[in-house]
Structure formats: C-alpha cells, structure tokens
Amino acid sequence: MAILQLIRLPNLLMLAFCQLLIRYGFYIPMGADFGLSDLDYLILVLSTCLVAGGGYIINDINDLEIDRINKKNRPLVSGLIQEKTAFSLYVILTIVGVGGGFYLANLIGRPAFAGIFVAVAALLYLYASMLNSMLLVGNLLISVLVGVSLLIVVVFDLLPITDWSNQQNQQWFFSVILLYSAWSFVINLLREWVKDLQDVDGDRNGGRQTLPIVLGRSRTRSLVIAVTILFIISLLYQLYFHWYNRSWMVLYFLALVIGPLIFFCIKLQSSTTTDDYRKASTILKLIMFMAICSIPLLNLN
C-alpha cells in the first residue's frame, strides 16, 4: 500500500519494537521504578512513531525532484499519492503525535516535556526543507534524533518518579539507555553517509553538499570504514572492561554486532554501484536492530 510505503512502515515497526523492548525486556524485569501505565506507554510509542512517520512524509515531499533520479519507485514520484494528499497526511500525523506528547507531559506533571515532541517535529521539518542540503548538518541531526527516540522512553517513564530513594538504581538504567542511544547515533551516522554514497547523482543534481560530493566516493568510503573501526574498538572496550562477566552479552556482540560490522567494512571497500551501497545501508540497519535487541541480555549474568 502506497501510504505504508510513504511513512516507511518497516522503520516505524522497528522503532516501536525497540521502545517496547526497552521497557518490557529490560528495565521492568530488572526492577526499575516506572511511572506510565501500559496504555500510556503505548501512547508514548504511538506518538513517537506518528511524529517519525510525519518526518518521512515531509522529507519525501521536499525530496520529490531529487527522488526522480535516486528513488523512482517512491509513491510521490510514481504518482501513487498526490503531493497535496501527502502533505495533509503529514499534518495529521504530526499534530496527533505532538498532541500525544502534550497529553503525556501533563499526565506525568512535567508539561515542559511536551517541548521534546514539538522540537523533534520542528527539526524534522527543518531537516527536510533545508538542513539535509548542508554538509554534515543533516546527517548529524537525523542521527541525534534516532538516539533521542530511545532516550525519550526513560525521560517520560523513569525520570518523573526518580527521587533520592531510587536515584542510584534509576541512574543505572538511564546510563544503559544513554549508551545504546549513543551507539544508535554512530550506526545511523554511518548509514547516512552510506546513503549519501548511494544517492550522489540525485544529490548533485539537487545542489546538495554531501560528503561524497565534497570528498569523493573513495575518500568517503575510507572515512566510513575508519569510523566503523573506531566504533568496533569502542564496543570491544565496553565488552572487555564493563561487561566481561556477562558471557552471553559478549558472545552476542561478537557474533551479531562486531562480526557484521567487520563484514560491512569489507563489503563497503569493494562497493562501486548504487545497489552495492543500498545493500551496505541495509546491513547497517540490521546491525543497529541487533545491537538494540541485546538489551534483555543484561538480565543475564
């Protein structure tokens, strides 16, 4: 269905799954104090997905001419959905999503937290309309927002009921999610650069300044591989110095995160075609998903 393709349903389902996994696979089984009911947490997940879905739509609207070169099968480019219809859907999803944020912020007694949803929606609009054309700025912004999509869980569910009696315990849960959020930021940033490698022809035609256009594809590939190697080293550091006694976690990361990252580097080094870069981008998406899926293993010794 064209609308589901427009809002990137698989990406939204992945986002929802990760947010649900954090609560029901991690901090509830490990005894965290949380404030939202199951229904209200579902509203949090749904609101986040609606704002993200709106972001995908407005990005497609603003990328229409570029996508005529890069992604000819997109619903707007192919004419399956009219631009006016897409914009109306963007407005509806964004308003409902931000409205859910206002409801939750008032529910937990922190009305200022609604500003998070407003800021994310505004930044997604700015990204689509101008920031994605600026060197590195768009890549960094969208990667930060990916990290925020995980942090927002603890901000709304754990932070409001944290006090002196449970502060140390709650801080540990927050630190873990912050770590995973940072990892998500790095992996998504790598993926943004790979997508720029994939879309270089349309981006150049649209007047964008991306790393492959400024540095060239070869140097950009080298940069991505170098950052990936540094990221692998940071993961090994975490496993060796902090999770060395969690054997299942160590084995999981070696097999399903670090191993695939090494494979990604090998594949990217030999990538030359648009299809090669598309496959490399998919590998990174799967690696991010597998990394987040490791969270429940923290329950095991």
Give the chain as a 3 state SS string. CHHHHHCCHHHHHHHHHHHHHHHHHHHCCCCCCCCCCHHHHHHHHHHHHHHHHHHHHHHHHHCHHHHHHHCCCCHHHHCCCCHHHHHHHHHHHHHHHHHHHHHHHHHCCCHHHHHHHHHHHHHHHHHHHCHHHCCCHHHHHHHHHHHHHHHHHHHHHCHHHCCCCCHHHHHHHHHHHHHHHHHHHHHHHHHHHHHHHHCHHHHHHCCCCCHHHHHCHHHHHHHHHHHHHHHHHHHHHHHHHCCCCCHHHHHHHHHHHHHHHHHHHHHHHCCCCHHHHHHHHHHHHHHHHHHHCCHHHHHCC
* Dihedral sign (CA 223, 213, 182, 263): negative
Q: What are phi and psi of 65, to 5 degrees?
A: -70, -40
Q: Domains of the chain, with CATH numbers?
A: 2-299 (1.10.357.140)
Q: pLDDT for 157-178, tens place per residue?
A: 999 999 998 999 999 999 999 9
pLDDT category at 232 given cuts 50, 70, 90 is very high
Query: d(Cα 28, Cα 52) in Å, to the nearest integer?
Result: 25
Query: Average pLDDT of 13-28?
Result: 97
Q: pLDDT for 243-292, tens place per residue?
A: 999 999 999 999 999 999 999 999 999 999 999 999 999 999 999 999 99
Query: Average pLDDT of 94-98?
Result: 98
pLDDT of residue 301: 62
Query: d(Cα 185, Cα 144) in Å, to the nearest integer?
Result: 6
Query: Quick check: 174 and 155 in contact, CB under 8 A?
Result: no
Tell me how crowded residue 167 is: count the other CB atoms within 10 A of its CB: 11
Q: Provide the whole-model pTM.
A: 0.95
Contacts of 65 (CB under 8 A, 6+ apart): 205, 206
Q: pLDDT for 105-142, tens place per residue?
A: 999 999 999 999 999 999 999 999 999 888 899 999 99
Place of tokens 């990204």: 127
Q: Cα dist. 53→88, 92, 229, 289 in Å?
A: 13, 10, 32, 18
Q: pLDDT for 49-91, tens place per residue?
A: 999 999 999 999 988 878 787 777 788 877 788 989 999 999 9
